[in-house]
Structure 1
Amino acid sequence: MSIGWALLPLVFMIVSMFGAVYFFELAPHIPLMIGTAIAALVAYHHGFSWEEIEEMMYKGIKLALPAIIIIILVGLVIGAWIGGGVVATMIYYGLKIITPSLFLVTICVICGIVALAIGSSWSTMATVGVAGMGIGLSMDIPAGMIAGAVISGSYFGDKMSPLSDTTNLAAGLTGTDLFDHIKHMFYTTIPGLIIALITYFFIGRQFSSGHLDVKKIDAISSGMTTQFYITPWLLLIPVVVILLVAFKVPAVPALVVGILLGFAAQIWVQGDSLFNAASTLQQGYQMKSDNKLLTELFNKGGLESMFFTISMTIVAMTFGGILEYSGMLTAIIRVILKVARNTGSLIATTVLSCFATNATCSEQYISIVVPSRMYIKAYLDKDLHPKNLSRALEDGGTLTSVFIPWNTCGVFILATLGVQAYEYGPYAILNYVIPFISIIYGYTGFKIVKMTDEEKTYYTQKALG
């Protein structure tokens, strides 16, 4: 397929997306459906039958099914933990111990530790992140800043955790040992985290104790104690979930345990009825309060709150499925590879291709899968160790997914933290600093590992068969 035909669906999608989202403030679903329709017509024009095109869409959706299951469970976790008083307890004690000027640094570090332990940025953002949003907003810190710090910490932990699915995926697809992959990422990820924390420290200085509205904090704390029974024992529920995943219990059963514990807490600790607890899982928690911030914080969660995210994921993956399986994406990357003539340009091309795949296919898993298969031979031909590729895939794919509003990650963040990509984007510092560090390393040769002849033979057989 020629590059012109391959780019046609993207052009239609991007133009319609820009008009719908930025001019009319509509959801991204219809522009993606327009892109899917154009992609289907292009594929049909190139000899694919309608049955084959439908199968491409089904394959795309199938790739996102694990993410959809997690999205459903996260909606239930948020509802159960709000109804059970877990989120209120975390916010209540957080208001007691966190200093406003150090809040952004603190929440970033906490999210990083939790995500490192459980291997999931999504689960971290949906639990600790939701509580962090409540604490930060009550301190009058802008939502975009809070979300940016939560995202930076969550993705740091996810990226460096041996339990993370994206980390295992990047290592596995390139034939790299998992812990060699993680060690190699230290050189880009740790400097990125340090830059992010220093920036949050200086940004946070404007939110001093004098800036803190004590009356507002007292009103929020009083409102929570009126609505919920606050006890530190409720903190054991997130601790149990973290420990389960730390002991290598898969994310799905660990989240189910969290849901059941939150559901039980709403009945036995908060004294609510079985009907209301079940309704919370379905429709989210509903509370009535004169405090607008309290209602914004706690009237959320539940299965129904995730329907927008689920439908968005399905529509996005039909588009991505046609692009990938019809060969359009391959045609685009083939042209890009022609300009990657040295190590620096190859790594830069890898990072940018991962970002472009995030924007076009709307799923971070595809941004790792497709470029890994497209570029592995080019890395081996240049005697570059596959861990250079696996690191570039994470630097450019895993991290940049949050900046695309219609990517499953961007949609998930909007659904859980309630903040748009353009609001948190400037403050998700780790996520955009690391790709630049990765590209700089490529051009300078710093921490770029070459292979011996024996290693080249071994990795060629392992990665290419």
Structure 2
Amino acid sequence: MKKTIKARWTIITFLIMMTTMLICVAVLKQSPHIPLLVGTVVAAIVALAHGFKWREVEEMMYKGIKLALPAIVIIILVGLTIGAWVGGGVVATMIFYGLKLISPGWFLVTILLLCAIVSLAIGSSWSTMATIGVAGMGIGLSMGIPAPMIAGAVICGAYFGDKMSPLSDTTNLAAGLTGTNLFEHIRHMLYTTIPGILISIIVFAILGRQFAGIDMKSENISTTLAVLQDSFTISPWLLLVPLAVIVMVAKKVPAIPALAIGIVVGFTLHIFVQGGSPATALNTLQEGYAIASGNAMVDQLFQQGGLDSMMYTVSMTIVAMTFGGILEFSGMLKSLLAIIIKFAKSTGSLVLSTISASIFTNATCSEQYISIVVPSRMFVKAYRDKGLHSKNLSRALEDGGTLTSVFFPWNTCGVFIFATLGVSAFEYAPYAILNFIVPIISIIYAYIGFAIVKLSPEELAQAQKDAEEEEKLEASLT
């Protein structure tokens, strides 16, 4: 007979996984795969001990993996895109003109704003990081700017647009699950997100001052520009490729066909513009691009992309979601969040609990979407009982769920960033300023009562009526 799994078993499971993670990653400098597998084994044992059958545990793991399948497909396509665009000279062209036009002192602010604009237009942080972000890493590294700083600026810009765009899947998910009007949800997020992006811009402007003295005519940059011209056919026409993909996504063309078109165009450019053979172009899609220019920095910079380069990320995602699947579908996560709700006595503690639950879900279930879905189901009644408008909940879900997913190396967002930008979560975390400052701002607002909207008597009566109808419908279905 199945028993309800108490919260202490969830805590024990998580502590074992995290202890193993710290030893393997921090001490032994190994990948997080094995610790996540250890967590999966422990979670499975706990579920079996509470009356679940092995077939049910397997099904939980499969459900977890199924949740990540869209992300896995995107990850694979991004690997192919990077390979095709490097081989086709698109990335080289973006870096070449970036070095020509962007001032080192303002580079970090410039790349942040550029990523914010593109992500706001297309609603996707991943697509932004895979296009503008990859080129930005190349430009910044060529200027001698540390990779974690560049990655932090890219992430801040990309997640600002992802969070605030009406085209973003997480933005629509948070609004839809809480029953909040989409544009009302976005307007309410301005209170926390605008201060967060302004603080980020100020910090990166200050950080960028140390690079203002970099001579753009220095031997290092001059050599890089010369090697790019010798190794690739550089043309401003090649910039139309990323522009076309961005426009397609902005026009609501789904990400998969948009990226697929970008891959085909890049593959074609590799053959007909860069002079590669069909076999070389195909090998680039599979194994990534390789260059032997004689310049170590350029060779390392352009040795990337390809299907094979994403297998680490794909395997990490699959392993993480087996662990998350058991936690979610066995009820282990729900039991822990139920305790968190009990401590939410005031409005401040309720928002703190929501954000904490989203962060915890990001850490345990390794998937950004679950960090919005599960807490939304758990907290919607608590917000209504306190007479709070649903947009307070939808904002807290995004402040805690959407943004903090980047801080966990085993979360799908963390592994994607590592595979795309080549910087680990531990390295870029101090520079992902928007992502940690917005949740703090959100919690402060809740405790002082600023930008917290309460339901009017009419809205509260309607909300209670809708809740009663939902309960009746659920009862009839069961």
**Secondary structure in 1 matching 2:369:** helix
Q: TM-score, normalised by structure 1?
A: 0.98
1:366-392 per-residue CA deviation (whole Å, 9 max, x = no partner) reads 111111111111011111111111111
Question: Does the 8 Å CA contact 1:175/1:462 hold for their aligned counterparts?
Answer: no
Cα separation, 1, equivalents of 2:466 and 2:48: 36
Structure 2 counterparts to residues 398-417 of structure 1, below 5 A: 398-417=402-421
**Partners in 2 of 1:78 and 1:117 — Cα distance?**
21
Alignment-derived partner of residue 258 in structure 2: 254
**Which of 335, 344, 350 is equivalent to 2:348?**
344
Aligned to 2:473: none
Q: Say whether residues 1:390 and 2:402 are aligned partners.
A: no
Q: Which amino acid aligns with 1:120?
A: S
| 1:245-297 alpha-carbon deviations (Å, 9 max, x no partner) | 11111111111111111111111211211111111111111111221111121
Residue identity in the other structure for 1:261: V
After superposition, give the CA deviation of every residue in 1:116-155 in whole Å (9 maximum; x if it has no partner).
1111111111111111011111111111100000000000
Counterpart code for 1:132? G
Kept in 2: contact 1:152–1:430 (CA 8 A): yes
Kept after mapping to 1: 8 A contact 2:143/2:214: no
Q: Is the 8 A contact 1:175 1:459 kept in 2?
A: no
Checking the alignment, whether the CA contact within 8 Å between 2:289 and 2:303 is kept in structure 1 is yes
Cα gap change, 1:295/1:461 in structure 2, threshold over 3 Å: closer, same or farther? Answer: farther
Aligned pair count? 465
RMSD over equivalenced CA pairs, Å: 1.2
Instruction: Name the CA distance, whole Å, in 2 between partners of 1:144 and 1:108.
Output: 13
Deviations 1:322-378 (A, max 9, x none): 001111101111111111101000001111111111111111111111111111110
Deviations, residues 204-245 of structure 1 (Å, cap 9, x unaligned): 001013465711001111111111100000000011111111
How far, CA to CA, are the matches of 1:134 and 1:227 in structure 2?
15
Q: For 1:34-433, what aligned pairs fall within 5 Å after superposition?
A: 34-210=38-214, 214-433=218-437
3-state secondary structure, aligned to 1:450: coil
Please give the alpha-carbon distance, in whole angstroms, between the structure 1 residues aligned to 2:215 and 2:396. Answer: 41
Return the letter of the residue paired with 1:288: A
Q: Is the partner of 2:363 in helix, strand or coil?
A: helix
Is the alpha carbon distance of 1:14 and 1:461 closer, same or farther for their aligned partners in structure 2, counting shifts above 3 Å?
farther
Q: Aligned equivalents of 2:463 and 2:40: distance in 1?
A: 37
Instruction: Report which stretch shifted further, 264-273 or 210-219.
Output: 210-219
TM-fit CA distance, 1:458: 3.9
Inter-partner Cα distance in structure 2 for 1:210 and 1:262: 33
Give the residue type in structure 2 aligned to 1:208. Answer: A
One-letter identity of the residue aligned with 1:370? V
Q: Provide the rounded CA distance (Å) in 2 between the counterparts of 1:141 and 1:60.
A: 39
Percent of paired sites with the same residue: 63
CA contact (8 A) 1:74 1:255 kept: yes
Q: Is the 8 A contact 1:181 1:387 kept in 2?
A: yes
**Residue 218 of structure 1 aligns to which amino acid in structure 2?**
S
Deviation at 1:459, TM superposition (A): 4.1
CA pair 251-456 structure 1, distance change in 2 beyond 3 A: farther
Question: So what's the TM-score if we normalise by structure 2?
Answer: 0.95
Which consecutive unaligned segments of at least 5 residues does structure 1 have?
A: none
1:23 equivalent in structure 2:
27
